[in-house]
A = this chain, B = another copy of it.
Amino acid sequence: MSLVTLVEYAGAPAEVRAVYDDIMKTRGVDWVGNFWKGLANDPAQLRRTWEHVKQVMAPGALDPLVKEMVYIAVSATNGCEYCTYSHTASARKQGMSDAMLMELMAVVGLANHTNRVVNGLRIDVDERFKP
């Protein structure tokens, strides 16, 4: 149960509707997720976060699907339930297969494993890794 009211389109102020409209248009869908409805309690934060997402997740030096999988990797590492569901849905829409998801999880698991062993043993960084 969300700690703030989820702002629905019907009752939203104009500045919130404008962001919702842009989200729906950019994504080619007729709905917005609860994350945006929660952020809408602070219209400036809603707009700022959406502009941020829109710019960062767009095609660039990295492929959008790679970006979605990186997002999933971070969300799994942080244990964020909402983000794992929403970005897995998004990645699947962009072509991520079950095999790709499983392989992604293998990398996420391995990285979390070695990160902690290295930290626990305080292994010195090899000089040759430094730029």
- In the assembled complex, the Cα of A72 lies from the Cα of B74 at a distance in Å of 10
Asked whether B38 lies within 8 Å of A121 as measured between CB atoms, the reply is: yes
Give the contacts of A18-76 with B (CB-CB under 8 A): 31, 33-35, 38-39, 41-42, 44-45, 48-49, 52-53, 55-57, 60-62, 66-67, 69-76
Asked whether A107 lies within 8 Å of B76 as measured between CB atoms, the reply is: no
A94 within 8 A of B: no
Chain B residues contacting A86 (CB-CB under 8 Å) are 125-126, 129
As a 0/1 sequence over residues 117 to 131 of chain A, the CB contacts with chain B under 8 angstroms (1 = contact) are 111111111101111
Asked whether B118 lies within 8 Å of A80 as measured between CB atoms, the reply is: yes
As a 0/1 sequence over residues 90 to 131 of chain A, the CB contacts with chain B under 8 angstroms (1 = contact) are 000000011111111111111111111111111111101111
Question: Which residue of B is nearest A129, CB measured?
Answer: B85
- In the assembled complex, the Cα of A31 lies from the Cα of B128 at a distance in Å of 10
Asked whether B61 lies within 8 Å of A122 as measured between CB atoms, the reply is: no
- Contacts A70-B104, A103-B42 given; indicate if A116 touches B56 (C-beta within 8 A): no
Asked whether A4 lies within 8 Å of B129 as measured between CB atoms, the reply is: no
Question: Which residue of B is nearest A45, CB measured?
Answer: B106
A79 within 8 A of B: yes
Question: Which residue of B is nearest A63, CB measured?
Answer: B66
